[in-house]
C-alpha cells in the first residue's frame, strides 16, 4: 500500500531538503511547487537557489508545478506552512485523496486552534495521515548529515511507512501519539521566540536557560491537558526540538526573536510559525497556567517590552519546582 513512490509538496528549504534525502533511497521522487516559473528555474539549474542554495538536486527528482504528476497511491510529504495548509488542501483535494499524507509542518491554525493533521482531517476526512517532526534544519538534511526525527501515526502500517522514509542518514523513530508530537513541534517555536528575545535584549544565557526550562514545563502541561502522552514531549518531537530551536541562529523562530528584541520585526519571505502559534494558543482562552507563552503573545502585540516581560515573570509568586 502507498508503494507508488514519494512526493514532496512544497519547494521551500525543508521540502527541497526532504526531496534530496528521499532521492538517496527512492527510485523517483516528485518535488512540487506552486509557481511554474520558479519550478522551471529549479529544474533547469537543478538547484533551489532561493531557498536551499549550494545543494544540487539528484537526477531522480522530478521537479514540477503540476499536481497531476501524483499518481497511484504515493506517500506524500506535505511541507506547506500551517496557516496556508487548509487553503492548499481545499484547492488540491482531488489530487490528494488517494495518497498517504505525511504532515511536515508545525504550528496551530489561527481561528480554529487545530493542529496540522487535524486540518487535513477536517478537509479530507477519509485521508490516511502521519506526522513527521523533530529537531532538524533543512541544510543538515539536504547535506546528508545525521538527523533523527519522530514519525507519529496511529495507522497499523506505521512501521512500513517508517521503513519507507528512513534513509542511511535520516533515522525515524515511530510514535503512536501524533497529537503530542505536533504540540511539541508547535509550542517549542513559541519558547524559541522567547529565547531569542532574551538573547537579543542581552539579558544573558542564564535567562535563556530559565525560559527554556519553564517553557518546556508549559509545553508538557498544555499537551497533557489536551490528551497527549507526557513521555512524547521528552522525545525528539518535544525536548529534542526545543534544544535545537532555542540554541541556534539557524532557527527561524530564535532568529526572529533576536531581531524582534533589537527592533527589527520582520524577516522577509520567511515563515515564522511561532508568531501565529503564540496568538492561536492565546485566542483559545485556555484555563491553563502558561505565563511564558502568553507573555510572548503580548510581546509580539507590542503590549510590553522584553525587559518588562522578564520583570513580570520574575515577580510571579515563588513556588516549588514542578514540571506540571
Name the nearest CA neighbour of 299 among 258, 267, 271. 258
Nearest CA to 243 among 287, 217, 278, 212?
212
Q: pLDDT class for 262, splitting at 50, 70, 90?
A: very high
> What is the pLDDT averaged over residues 2-30?
96
pLDDT value at residue 269? 57
Q: Is 25 annotated as a binding residue?
A: no
**Measured distance CA(66)–CA(212) in Å, rounded:** 42
Helix boundaries (H) for the chain: 13-23, 36-45, 82-96, 116-123, 138-142, 158-165, 178-200, 205-225, 230-233, 241-247, 252-261, 273-283, 291-300, 306-314
Mean pLDDT of the 72-85 span: 97
In the sheet with 29-32, reading across from the earlier edge strand, the strands are: 61-64, 29-32, 6-9, 75-78, 100-103, 128-133, 147-152, 170-175
Q: Is 34 annotated as a binding residue?
A: yes
- The pLDDT value recorded for residue 169 is 98
For 305-316, the pLDDT digits (tens) are 999 998 999 999
Helices (DSSP H) in 24-113: which residue ranges? Answer: 36-45, 82-96
Listed in sequence order, the residues at least 6 apart from 289 whose beta carbon sits closer than 8 Å to its beta carbon are: 218, 221
pLDDT confidence of residue 265:
73
Q: How far apart are CA 174 and CA 1, in angstroms?
A: 18
Task: Report whether 3 belongs to an annotated binding site.
Answer: no
Is the pLDDT reported for residue 268 higher than 80?
no
Mind listing the domains of the chain with CATH numbers?
5-176 (3.40.50.720), 180-315 (1.10.1040.10)
Instruction: Check whether 166 is labelled as a binding-site residue.
Output: no
Q: 301 an active-site residue?
A: no
Which pLDDT tens digit goes with each residue over 129-174?
999 999 999 999 999 999 999 999 999 999 999 999 999 999 999 9
Q: What angle do CA 144, 145, 150 make, to 5 degrees?
A: 95
- Mean pLDDT (whole number) for 60-72: 97
Catalytically annotated residue among 25, 121, 145, 188: 188
Is the pLDDT assigned to residue 271 strictly greater than 80? no
Q: What is the pLDDT of residue 278?
A: 97
Number of helical H runs and strand E runs in the chain:
14, 10
**Residue 189, annotated ligand binder?**
no
Q: If pLDDT is split at 50, 70 and 90, which confidence band does 3 have? A: confident
pLDDT band at 10 (very low <50, low <70, confident <90, very high): very high
Q: Is 14 annotated as a binding residue?
A: yes
pLDDT number for residue 324: 63
Amino acid at each position: 500500500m502507498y508503494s507508488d513512490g514519494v512526493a514532496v509538496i512544497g519547494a521551500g528549504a525543508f521540502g527541497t531538503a526532504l526531496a534530496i534525502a528521499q532521492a538517496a533511497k527512492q527510485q523517483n521522487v516528485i518535488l512540487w511547487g506552486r509557481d511554474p516559473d520558479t519550478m522551471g528555474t529549479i529544474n533547469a539549474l537543478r538547484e533551489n537557489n532561493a531557498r536551499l542554495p549550494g545543494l544540487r538536486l539528484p537526477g531522480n527528482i522530478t521537479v514540477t508545478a503540476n499536481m497531476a504528476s501524483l499518481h497511484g497511491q504515493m506517500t506524500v510529504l506535505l511541507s506547506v506552512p500551517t496557516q496556508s495548509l487548509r487553503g492548499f488542501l481545499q484547492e488540491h483535494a482531488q489530487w490528494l485523496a488517494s495518497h498517504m499524507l505525511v504532515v511536515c509542518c508545525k504550528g496551530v491554525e489561527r481561528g480554529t486552534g487545530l493542529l496540522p493533521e487535524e486540518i487535513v482531517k477536517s478537509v479530507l476526512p477519509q485521508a490516511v495521515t502521519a506526522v513527521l517532526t523533530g529537531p532538524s534544519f533543512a541544510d543538515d538534511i539536504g547535506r546528508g548529515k545525521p538527523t533523527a526525527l519522530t514519525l507519529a501515526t496511529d495507522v497499523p502500517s506505521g512501521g512500513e511507512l517508517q521503513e519507507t522514509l528512513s534513509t542511511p542518514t535520516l533515522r525515524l523513530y515511530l510514535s503512536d501519539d501524533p497529537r503530542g508530537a505536533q504540540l511539541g513541534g508547535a509550542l517549542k517555536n513559541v519558547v524559541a521566540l522567547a529565547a531569542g528575545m532574551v538573547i537579543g535584549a542581552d539579558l544573558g544565557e542564564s535567562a535563556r536557560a530559565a525560559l527554556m526550562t519553564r517553557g518546556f514545563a508549559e509545553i508538557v502541561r498544555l499537551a497533557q491537558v489536551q490528551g497527549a502522552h507526557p513521555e512524547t514531549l521528552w522525545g525528539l518531537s518535544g525536548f529534542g526540538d526545543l534544544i535545537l530551536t532555542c540554541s541556534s541562529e539557524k532557527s527561524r523562530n530564535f532568529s526572529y526573536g533576536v531581531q524582534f528584541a533589537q527592533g527589527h520585526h520582520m524577516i522577509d519571505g520567511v515563515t515564522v510559525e511561532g508568531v501565529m502559534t503564540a496568538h492561536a494558543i492565546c485566542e483559545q482562552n485556555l484555563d491553563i497556567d502558561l505565563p511564558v507563552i502568553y507573555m510572548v503573545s503580548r510581546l509580539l502585540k507590542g503590549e510590553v517590552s522584553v525587559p518588562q516581560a522578564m520583570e513580570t515573570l520574575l515577580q510571579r509568586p515563588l513556588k516549588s519546582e514542578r514540571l506540571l
